[in-house]
Structure formats: C-alpha cells, structure tokens
C-alpha cells in the first residue's frame, strides 16, 4: 500500500466537505492511531495484519485531510513505551516501518508532484541502524517539499522530547551560544522535534481510550481534543468530519486561549529582559539607578541582542540536526 492514496470523494462526501470548508478548518491535525490489535482480534487476523491495515488507514486518512484542505498531519506511529511489547510485535512493527519507508523512496516522484514533506519526530538512535538510515534517507528526500506535511512520531514520547529540548538548551549554554537567562518557554518550543510545525489545532485519539499516552503534551495545551470509539483501521471519512465539527464548535474559545497565552509569553519575556538589564545596570552603573528612558532603551537593546543570540543558537541546532540526518542518509544502502 502506497503513502499517497489516489481516489475521489463520492458526491455526498464532496458536498459535506464543501460545507465543512465554509467554516474554520484545522491547519494541523494529530492522530493517536489506536486499536489495531483489537481490530485484528475482532476480524480474526494476526496482530501484524492489524498494524498493516492501520498503515493503510493512515494513507486513506491523509487523502481525506488533503481533500478537506488540512495541510499538516502528525501521527503517533511508535511510542518509546511500545519497545516494551513482545519481541515479535516490536520486530513486526520495525519490519513494517522498513517496508513503508522503502516504499516511500520508490514513490519520490509522486511525493514531489503533491509537494509532500515527510518528517520523522523521535529519538532515531533507539532504532535499528538500518531503519535509522532508511528513515534519514526518506526525510532528506522530501525535506524541500512544502505543500503538505506528514510528521511521523516514531520512537517518540513527549517527555523524552522535552528532556531532549532541555539538553539542547544546556548544550547552547555550554557552547556559549546562549545565556542561561535566554531559556524560556518559547525557546524550549523551538528546541522540540516539532519546532518546524505550528501546534496541532485538533488531536484525535481512536479506540475509546481517553488519555494522551505521552503524545505532544507540550504542543496540545490549546488544541481541541477529540476521543472517538472507532478502532483505527475502521476509521472513516465521517469520523474525521465529526472531529472537524467538534473543532469548529470550539474554535472561538481555542483562539481566545491561544491569544491570552501569547500575550502572557510576551509579558514574561519583557519581565525577564527587564530583570537582566536591572542586573547589568547594577553591575556596570556603579549602583546608580538608571532613569526611565535610559532603562527603556537598555531593555530594547538587550531584547535585540537576545534575539540575535537565540537566532544563531537555533541555526547551530538546525545545522547539528541536519548533519546528523545527512550523514545517516549517506550511509543508507
């Protein structure tokens, strides 16, 4: 089964899609694709077949998302906790991933035609080396595409991602690229694996489980969360429409909450800059208090210098990550 599934909506689906598109449509939807094994049991097929049908459903869902003008999708394909499953199941999922990323490389032309950029978010070093190399090759092959984005979370948990982001900031301080006082919520967001994406507008979990299972905890604090009882391999266009309607019903309050959060972040940053300037003036101003206008000017200047530092640090981080991927990709057979 291909990553890009061709096919048209039928008349009633097309009409419904057009009605939905008259309202606010999420720009980024995240899926916890849960229920593959229960589906396999229900259909009396083996577990691996359940996961394989789960992948087929992903390809179909991506097509529906494009047809609904949703340009970005993030999926939870393999959690770090999934390594605790039986050896046979973990090996089966690794084999499925190998097969699909190989297929992705075969489909480069099709992905280019549709402008699909595929990213993999997670700790690749936890995976078998041949899969790491294959993933890197696939990511490098599509990284210039920019019409739609699929983020595959693989060997991922949110806490691992946040701990890694904190380590990256510590590295930046160690290298003298940033100061410890530059560490902020906004900077941590930029150090996450997901830093190239806007936060998801809508997060959907299938199979009736009502929890996030360490998925995108940082990114979904102002997202619409929808829990649906359908098993992932049985997901339908109508389930997706239902979730989008729930997003539309909550759209105004989500936007308001995001706005308030952004205002709060700006206020916190200004407060932090003021504190740094006060300390600098204290050390360099012979203890004399600076007057209002001089202090304002110093805060504005300090803000510009901090932004320049952070920009250089983020560029160094991007280069570090890019060269890790490029090097891995070049080792792929």
The stretch near Mg ion (CB under 5 A) out of 31-39, 164-172, 173-181, 217-225 is: 31-39
d(CA 312, CA 171) in angstroms, rounded, equals 13
- Residue 58 as a binder of ligand FPP (CB under 6 A): the answer is yes
- Residue 152 as a binder of ligand FPP (CB under 6 A): the answer is yes
The stretch near ligand FPP (CB under 6 A) out of 18-26, 29-37, 121-129, 169-177 is: 29-37
Q: Which of residues 26 and 54 has its CB atom nearest to Mg ion in the complex?
A: 54
Q: How far is the CB of 232 from Mg ion (least distance, A)?
A: 9
Residue closest to ligand FPP (Cβ): 54
Q: Which does 157 bind (CB under 5 to 8 A by kind): Mg ion, ligand FPP, none?
A: none
Size of the site for Mg ion (CB under 5 A): 1
- Residue 39 as a binder of Mg ion (CB under 5 A): the answer is no
Residue by residue, what is the 3-state secondary structure of the chain?
CCCCCCCCCCHHHHHHHHHHHCCCCCCEEEEECCCHHHHHHHHCCCHHHHHHHHHHHHHHHHHHHHHCCCCEEEEEEEEHHHHHCCHHHHHHHHHHHHHHHHHHHHCHHHHHHHCEEEEEECCHHHCCHHHHHHHHHHHHHHCCCCCEEEEEEEEECHHHHHHHHHHHHHHHHHCCCCCHHHCCHHHHHHHCCCCCCCCCCEEEECCCCCCCCCCCCCCCCCCEEEECCCCHHHCCHHHHHHHHHHHHHHHHHHHHHHHHHHHHHHHHHHHHHHHHHHHHHHHHCCCCCCCHHHHHHHHHHHHHHHHHHHHHHHHHHHHHHHHHHHHHHHHCC
Q: Which of residues 30 and 33 has its CB atom nearest to ligand FPP in the complex?
A: 33
Q: Which of residues 42 and 321 has its CB atom nearest to ligand FPP in the complex?
A: 42
The stretch near Mg ion (CB under 5 A) out of 28-36, 70-78, 89-97, 165-173 is: 28-36
- Residue 119 as a binder of ligand FPP (CB under 6 A): the answer is no
Q: Which residues within the stretch 81-110 sit at the binding site for ligand FPP (CB under 6 A)?
A: 82, 96-97, 100
d(CA 108, CA 37) in angstroms, rounded, equals 31
- Residue 34 as a binder of Mg ion (CB under 5 A): the answer is yes
5 φ, ψ to 5°?
-100, 115
The stretch near ligand FPP (CB under 6 A) out of 48-56, 126-134, 175-183, 303-311 is: 48-56
Q: Which of residues 134 and 178 has its CB atom nearest to ligand FPP in the complex?
A: 134
Q: How far is the CB of 241 from ligand FPP (least distance, A)?
A: 21
Give the distance from CA 313 to its chain's centroid. 21
The stretch near Mg ion (CB under 5 A) out of 34-42, 182-190, 192-200, 293-301 is: 34-42
Instruction: Spell out, one character per residue from 202 to 221, where the chain touches ligand FPP: x when CB under 6 A holds, - when not.
Output: -----x--------------
By CB under 5 A, name the binding residues for Mg ion: 34
By CB under 6 A, name the binding residues for ligand FPP: 33-38, 51, 54-55, 58, 77, 82, 96-97, 100, 152, 207
């Amino acid at each position: 089964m291909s990553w890009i599934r061709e096919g048209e909506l039928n008349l009633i689906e097309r009409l419904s899609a057009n009605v939905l598109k008259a309202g606010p449509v999420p720009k980024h939807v995240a899926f916890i694709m849960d229920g593959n094994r229960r589906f396999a049991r229900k259909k009396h097929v083996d577990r691996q077949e359940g996961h394989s049908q789960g992948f087929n459903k992903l390809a179909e869902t991506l097509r529906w998302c494009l047809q609904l003008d949703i340009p970005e999708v993030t999926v939870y394909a393999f959690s770090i906790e999934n390594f605790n499953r039986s050896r046979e199941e973990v090996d089966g999922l690794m084999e499925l991933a190998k097969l699909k990323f190989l297929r992705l490389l075969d489909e480069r032309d099709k992905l280019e035609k549709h402008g699909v950029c595929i990213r993999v978010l997670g700790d690749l070093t936890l995976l078998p080396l041949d899969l790491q190399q294959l993933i890197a090759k696939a990511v490098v092959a599509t990284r210039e595409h920019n019409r739609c984005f699929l983020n595959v979370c693989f060997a991922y948990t949110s806490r691992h991602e946040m701990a890694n982001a904190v380590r990256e900031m510590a590295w930046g301080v160690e290298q003298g690229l940033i100061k410890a006082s530059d560490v902020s919520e906004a900077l941590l967001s930029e150090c996450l694996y997901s830093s190239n994406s806007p936060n998801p507008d809508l997060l959907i979990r299938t199979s009736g489980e009502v929890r996030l299972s360490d998925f995108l905890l940082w990114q979904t604090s102002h997202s619409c969360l929808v829990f649906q009882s359908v098993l992932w391999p049985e997901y339908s266009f109508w389930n997706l429409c239902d979730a989008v309607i729930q997003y539309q019903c909550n759209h105004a309050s989500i936007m308001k909450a995001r706005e308030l959060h952004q205002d709060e972040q700006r206020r916190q940053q200004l407060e932090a800059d003021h504190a740094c300037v006060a300390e600098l003036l204290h050390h360099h101003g012979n203890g004399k208090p600076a007057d209002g206008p001089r202090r304002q000017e110093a805060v504005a200047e300090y803000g510009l210098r901090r932004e320049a530092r952070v920009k250089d640090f983020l560029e160094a981080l991007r280069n570090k990550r890019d060269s890790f991927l490029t090097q891995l990709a070049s080792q792929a057979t």
